[in-house]
Structure formats: structure tokens, C-alpha cells
Amino acid sequence: MFLLIIISVFVVIAVVYWLFMSPPSQIFGKFPHKVITEEKIVALTFDDGPNEPYTSRIVNFLNSNNIKATFFQVGKNVQRYPKTTLAIVKAGHVVGNHSLSHKFGKYFNRPELKHEVQASQAIFSKLIGKTPALFRPPWLWRQPLLLKTLKEVSLVPVSGIFCSDLEVFQPKAERIAKRTLARVKPGSIIIFHDGYNAKGASRSQTVEAVKIVVVELLKQNYRFVTVDKLLKVPAYQK
């Protein structure tokens, strides 16, 4: 009996995860995590920043290779490192909205959810002079209320494939890179983390993993594009 209960609990958790958080799930509406193509293109994305010095290290490396990426940033972190966000946009990368505070509990209440989205939008607009058109919810959490809210404020939801399930815990860079390269396919949107929620944390292994992944994918003749180019949608609202 006890074993049956344990199995049932795991089944329920798995179903909830697949419906509400897994990249392939589209049950509540369009939530792209890739495009179908034979062309060797991939979109590198970075969540939870800006977070110094790690965000700038990633940006400097990408710039040195003339690669553009998409940074889904937390509003409170943008307020903490405004110069980093400005430098990212100036270099031709794209920034997207990744909520104001990255707090999971804010996504079950309509007023709080809307505030998380709109307050972060206002921060971007004031700082860079344009408003993001792309939104990635924390933990890829999605449900009808969120998608409805995003539609109301003209934001395109974006999912992706995590570079490694353990990357947030910072295993060795080589391990992150190996797992990432095994997951990359033409048309993939790959998720790295240059930050940690709405606070700082070391992302040194991610920085090194990105270098390994980029070098290898260049050898394989991959081309790097921003999410808006991959999905053929605007990066910013008019």
C-alpha cells in the first residue's frame, strides 16, 4: 500500500511538471522551445541576470566571436546592474523580460502576476528606451492565467531547453558543456543561467561551459541567432 502511494505521488508530480513546466508542453497555448528546421542555427539564451562579473564575462566572450544572444533578465537585477544591461543592448544582444522578482508564489495571483510582468517592463523601458516583446517565466512555469496576461500586454512567451538539468548547481564546466552539446539540435533554444533568481551567485562554471559549447558548435558550422530572429517575431514592442 505504501509503495503504491509513493508511486502515485511520483506520477502526479511528473504529470504536473510536464503540463506546467516542461519545454515541450503546449497544452495551455503556444510556448515555443525550438523551431523545426534543417538549418544549423541555435539561439543561446541566459536567464536570471544580470549578475556580475559573470554576465559581463559571457557578453565579452560572445562579442569577441561576433555572436548575438538573448538575455532574459530579472527586473530587480537590472536595477542592481543597469550598466550591464545597457552594455548588452549596445552590443546588439536582445534583452527579454524574466519577471520582476523571480518569486514563484507571485504567479498564482492575478494582480501580483501582472505586477511582476508590467513593473519589469517599466524598468526596461526607462533604462534602455524600448520595451521587451519577449517574456520567459521563471522555471518555465506557464498556465492559462499567465498566457492570457502576456497576450494582454503584447508579450511573446518563450521557452527553451535547459543546457543541463544540474547547471544551476554549478557542476564542472566540462559536464555542463557535454550535456548541452548532446541536447543541441538545429533550431534549438538553449537556456543557460548567468544569474540565480533575483540575487547573485557564482556562475563561473557556466561561463567556461559557454566557451566550450560555442567553440564546438562553431566547428560543427552552427550559426547563432537571437530568439526573435529564430522565431521571426519582434524583439521589442513598437
One-character DSSP codes across 163-216? S-TTGGG---HHHHHHHHHHH--TTEEEEEESSBTTB----HHHHHHHHHHHHH
Question: Mean pLDDT throughout 218-238?
Answer: 97
Residues 68/225, Cβ–Cβ less than 8 Å: yes
Indicate whether 226 belongs to any domain: yes
Query: How high is the pLDDT of residue 15?
Result: 53
Query: How high is the pLDDT of residue 26?
Result: 76
Distance between terminal CA atoms of the chain?
59
Q: Which of 64, 66, 71, 91 is nearest to 160 (CA)?
A: 71
pLDDT at 233 over 70: yes
Q: DSSP letter at 96?
A: E
Count of domains for the chain: 1
Q: Give yes or no: 47 in active site.
A: yes
Domain of residue 148: give its range.
28-231
Query: How high is the pLDDT of residue 107?
Result: 74
pLDDT at 88 over 80: yes
Indicate whether 18 belongs to any domain: no
Q: DSSP letter at 235?
A: S
Indicate whether 238 belongs to any domain: no
pLDDT at 106 over 90: no
Indicate whether 202 belongs to any domain: yes
Query: How high is the pLDDT of residue 4?
Result: 61
Percentage of the chain surpassing pLDDT 90? 76
Q: Output the average pLDDT for the chain.
A: 91
Each residue of 130-150: pLDDT tens digit? 999 999 999 898 888 888 999
Question: Mean pLDDT throughout 55-72?
Answer: 98
Residues 6+ apart with CB under 8 A from 146: 107, 113, 137, 157
Q: Which of 47, 48, 194, 228 is catalytic?
A: 47
Q: Which of 214, 197, 159, 205 is nearest to 51 (CA)?
A: 197
What global pTM score does this model have?
0.93
pLDDT at 16 over 60: no
Indicate whether 222 belongs to any domain: yes
Indicate whether 13 belongs to any domain: no
Q: Which of 93, 98, 102, 193 is catalytic?
A: 193
If pLDDT is split at 50, 70 and 90, which confidence band does 6 have? low
Question: Mean pLDDT throughout 178-197?
Answer: 97
pLDDT at 183 over 70: yes
pLDDT at 18 over 70: no
If pLDDT is split at 50, 70 and 90, which confidence band does 30 have? confident
pLDDT at 12 over 70: no
Question: Mean pLDDT throughout 37-65?
Answer: 98
Distance CA 149, CA 99 (A): 13
Q: State the cell numbers at 103.
A: 518569486
- CATH assignment at residue 227: 3.20.20.370
Indicate whether 20 belongs to any domain: no
Interaxial angle between packed helices 54-64 and 204-219, expressed in degrees from 0 to 180 and rounded to the nearest 10: 20
